[in-house]
Amino acid sequence: MALSGMRGLSVFISDIRNCQNKEQERLRVDKELGNVRTRFKNEKGLTHYEKKKYVWKMLYIYMLGYDVDFGQMEAVSLISAPKYPEKQVGYIVTSCLLNENHDFLRLAINAVRNDIIGRNETFQCLALTLVGNIGGREFAESLAPDVQKLLTSSSCRPLVRKKAALCLLRLYRKNPDVVNVDGWSDRMAQLLDERDLGVLTSSMSLLVALVANNYETYWSCLPKCVKILERLARNQDIPPEYTYYGIPSPWLQVKTMRALQYFPTVEDPNARQTLFEVLQRILLGTDVVKNVNKNNASHAVLFEALALVMHLDAEKEMMSQCVALLGKFLTVREPNIRYLGLENMTRMLMVSDVQDIIKRHQAQIITSLKDPDISIRRRALDLLYGMCDVSNAKDIVEELLQYLNTADFAMREELSLKAAILAEKFAPDLSWYVDVILQLIDKAGDFVSDDIWFRVVQFVTNNEDLQPYAAVKAREFLDKPALHETMVKVSAYILGEYSHLLARRPGCSPKEIFTILHEKLPTVSTSMIPILLSTYAKILMRTQPTDPELQNQIWAIFHKYESCIDIETQQRAVEYIALSRKGAALVDIMAEMPKFPERRSALIQKAEETEADTAEQSAIRLRAQQQTSSALVMTEQRPANGMPPVSQHSLVKVSRMSNEVIQGGVFQQDPNTAGQGVTQANGTLSVVDPQPPEPSADLLGDLFSPLAIEGPPGAAVKSKHNMASGPQGAPNEEEILALAPVEEQTNPVQPIGNIAERFRALCLKDSGVLYEDPYIQIGIKAEWQAHQGRVVLFLGNKNTAPLLSVQALILPPSHLMMELSLVPETIPPRAQVQCPLEIINLQPSRDLAVLDFSYKFGTHVINVKLRLPAVLNKFLQPISVSAEEFFPQWRSLSGAPLKLQEVVKGVRPMSLAEMANLLNSFRLMISPGLDPNANNLVASTTFYSESTQAMLCLIRIETDPTDRTQLRMTVATGDPTLTFELKEFIKEQLISIPTISRAPAAAPPQAQPTSPTTIVSDPGALLAGLLH
């Protein structure tokens, strides 16, 4: 930034640097912005030089992190200046302040095009840099043909052609459907004959993007790429400025080999022979040196060459050279090189006939498991897992078990899973497999998943010859003083089924086995006790002749757990006491477990899901994840608390603020359920039977009904406005909350108060009660700042008995990122717990998040789905604008989709003051006096999201004093989606005005006395009053 001749800019920068604190800096910036705004507004005859001075100041203020919401027109106008200093400022500031969707860019297209087709090479470079940096669709449609002409022009200097190639690459990546590259195969082949390495490198980047989408069109470029590699490998005609630490243009070498990997094969035998000679030269000429920069460049070329060798399926001799070279890297002191050696050796496992060569380095790879760097240890584990087969499985698994004692906790779960998979896939005999899994469970403990011990139980049950051996091993492990609970589970199951096979062994009598198992009972969790009770029952049943002392001991244990608070334990104890009276029939009931049906191993399935991918496959997968999808995915199974896991997505496209009924995560309207109970609009309350629910009769109808999917902005959308109540104050069908018990309930649980009214109240304020019934109260306290929010859920138990099996699941819409902290499974009597919920707004939308909350009280599971008040107006910040600020912005946002207008009918009659208060409650600031018509309202606000940042929103409402049931509304913002969503949001509020609805049904007799009528806004205080 040249400051010569711009004393005002130098003084301003000096003042900013001398500010003592942030407040002084902000005041100085506001003063300067006001001065610049005044000069732009009042002095119409500003010269290009004067504009340049003020635009430099705007750019500096923008670089300090302040919003600059004016002056873009002046910056764009400088692009047309005839002199370089002013034109340079215009291009730089336009690139920084405007994005590809800004309307002002349309004004610059002609000026940019004139510079591109002009003869001034400096201006051409400025214009190409701007187009490449912004890369918008309109730029691509208007300027791509001119950029293509520059690239293929023989009269342009290499500097301009190089920038043209990179500019065209940017436009093609952003808009591949707009940039016309038909017939470009011959042109690209000509570009690859270029002698200038700068143009050649830029053209090669463009070729990589083109062949990635369609390689068949560019077969003529393949021999040219081979010639380029040959030229570089032999260091022929390479300027010194393109030689990096003695390596000829490593960037061009990498790009050329990357382009060759997109072609399936090299068919020409001469070209293939030349290519292999070049690759051989690279493999033999690469070594580790002390210079870090040279290492980085040479290894970048080397690893790309290795990828190309694997892609071309080279001869075994060359593959051996590659593996030998990678083996050298495993012994280097530099950790980055060791990591790359392990990673590329793992990739080479996918090539046939290479695994035996890699096995020669097995000792070095095992040594890498003890490396101080955890990333190297992970790569060594992946490589050992990939290279394992029947011949080396014993050695590798034993090493993994030994390493398990010292492995990091972060690696133990993955290590345990891979050891179990290898033991199952390559076990020489089943007894070795049992030994390995039992050792694994003993050493890993908490890091062994249930799938692992389920699988060993299945093997033992299905193989009779294995049962005595497994029982002996389980008995031996029980002698250890400290034993993990998973090992107790496996031992208890195996000994319960097969301990009678060890009756003649010393220390294996039924009483001795019972005694040693019973010693573990005080150390296990509640979920383990039913397994031990089953084991006791089977030991007692198989004791022949009957041992009265053992029988009395076991029956005493069963009687002890008859009244256990855990239902599963209590049921087992009661059932075994009843079964003990069956006499001879007990033998058939408690017989050995039958063989499991043969099915695919869950561990092997996990192994296939975690196979290593190539670099290209990983890149394709990453690009697929980054693409926006509007698909709706149903939840398969529900986690206990918090957000759903990655593999279990929920339905995230949630309906708007209208009062649709939610059933099972899908919005429905079923008039047949109207007579089943009382309904509230904010969610669905149901008494759930332990049996699984009936599937929906028309699942596709539920998913793709208009209630679940809303049309995109700009579409002709007919809003369905649901009034809060009917004409007589009675709730309509959609507001009725379907209470659908599977069996007859004597005292059905009903909510206290109107859930819909509670939700509407929380849309206007930040604290209050979201839901309440006789047993629990859910309160909310929220804080909102810009595009982020923090909501605390207050869960209060109103009774003297605990609430069990408490579960909370957030079903977020696609525009909100939400993370709920862990919700405890039990809420003690008259206690309150707090669960923070973090929210980030990604983009404008009226979709709502849903809280799926359930708990257990007595024999019933109560489940309720509640809309969360994370609505659009929570991300609005009222802002006052003057007439000087309002009207230029209003005029600049002209026409759809940035400015939308609609005549709204069916508005509930209200005075102008009431309407102004309603808009103020939704964080829209009324600006009186801006509209000359006294019957109109003008409002402004700022919307915050990650995609729009801070976006100014302007609203104008024109009313008819003779007909208050209709009005005309105009909404203008800088984002089309935001304009549409905000318009629809305001329209919903003007039509669906909350009214006093019918009083709720009386609470059941178990309900607590209703609280006083005084409203407490703080949910924490409100719940505390209920709990004391």
Asked if 821 and 837 count as a contact pair (C-beta separation under 8 A), the reply is: yes
How does the average pLDDT of the chain come out, rounded?
77
Q: Please choose, from the candidates 76, 16, 531, 618, the residue with its C-alpha nearest in 3D space to the C-alpha of residue 343.
A: 618
Q: How confident is the model at residue 49 (pLDDT cuts 50, 70, 90)?
A: confident
**HEC profile of 697-744:** CCHHHHHCCCCCCCCCCCCCCCCCCCCCCCCCCCCCHHHCCCCCCCCC
Residue with the two structure tokens 């019972």: 514
Distance between CA 655 and CA 692 in Å, rounded?
Answer: 26
- Conformation bin of residue 519: beta by default, left when phi > 0, alpha when psi is -120 to 50: alpha
For 629-670, the pLDDT digits (tens) are 222 222 333 333 343 333 333 333 333 443 333 333 333 333
**Cα–Cα distance for residue pair 468/494, rounded to 1 Å:** 9
449 vs 452: CA distance, rounded Å = 6
pLDDT, mean of residues 377-390: 91
Instruction: Give the alpha-carbon dihedral of 696, 699, 704, 708, to 10 degrees.
Output: 30
Buried b / exposed e across 566-598, counting CB within 10 Å, b at 16+?
A: eeebeebbbebeebbeeeeebeeebeeeeeeee
How many C-beta atoms lie closer than 10 Å to residue 155's C-beta? 7
Question: Which of 139-148, 811-820, 854-863 bottoms out in mean pLDDT, i.e. has the lowest?
Answer: 854-863
SS3 856: strand
Q: Detail the DSSP E strand segments found in 285-331.
A: none
At residue 736, the pLDDT reads: 31
pLDDT range class, residue 702, cuts 50, 70, 90? very low
Lowest mean pLDDT, pick from 526-530, 548-552, 1020-1024: 1020-1024
Contact at 8 Å (CB) between 812 and 818? yes
Q: How would residue 203 be classed by pLDDT, with cut points 50, 70 and 90?
A: very high
As beta bridge partners, residue 771 has 778
Give the DSSP letter string of 110-165.
HHHHHHHHSS-HHHHHHHHHHHHHH--HHHHHHHHHHHHHHHH-SSS-HHHHHHHH
pLDDT in tens, 413-439: 888 989 999 998 888 888 999 999 999
Q: Which amino acid is at 445?
A: G
- 519-537 pLDDT tens trace: 888 888 888 899 999 998 8
Report DSSP state, residue 570. H
Q: Is 383 helix (H, G, I), strand (E, B) or coil?
A: helix
**pLDDT tens-digit readout, 497-513:** 888 888 778 878 888 88
Q: What share of the chain is helix, strand, coil (3-state, %, to 5)?
A: 50, 15, 35
Confidence of residue 610 (pLDDT cuts 50, 70, 90): low
C-alpha span between 149 and 156 (Å, rounded): 10
Phi, psi angles (nearest 5°) of residue 852? -95, 105
pLDDT in tens, 53-66: 888 888 888 988 88
Tokens of 764: 């206007």
Rg for the chain (alpha carbons), in Å? 37
Judge contact between 206 and 194, C-beta under 8 A: no
Q: Which two tokens stand for residue 63?
A: 């670089």
Angle at 430 (CA atoms; ends 429, 435), nearest 5 degrees: 105
| Average pLDDT over every residue of 68-92 | 85
Phi, psi of 914 (to 5 degrees): -65, -40
Look at residue 769 and give its three-state secondary structure: strand
* Residue 311 φ then ψ, to 5°: -65, -40
At 861 the pLDDT is 83
How much is the average pLDDT of 126-139?
A: 86
* Residue in the block written with tokens 């039990």: 826
CA atoms of 769 and 716, how far apart (whole Å): 37
What single string gives the DSSP state of each residue in 601-655? Answer: -HHHHHHHHT----HHHHHHHHHHHHS--------SS--SEESPPTTS-------
Residue 693 DSSP one-character state? P
Residue 875 has pLDDT above 80, yes or no: yes
Q: What's the pLDDT band for 43 if we cut at 50, 70, 90?
A: low
CB atoms within 10 A of CB 751: 24
Give the highest mean pLDDT range of 350-354, 911-915, 969-973.
Answer: 969-973
Give the dihedral sign, CA 522/524/526/529.
Answer: negative
> Do 659 and 734 meet the contact criterion of CB atoms below 8 Å apart?
yes
Q: Which residue has the higher pLDDT, 381 or 1026?
A: 381
Cβ distance 124 to 160 under 8 Å? yes
Closest CA to 749 of 860, 673, 829: 860
| Residue 342 binned pLDDT confidence (cut-offs 50, 70, 90) | very high
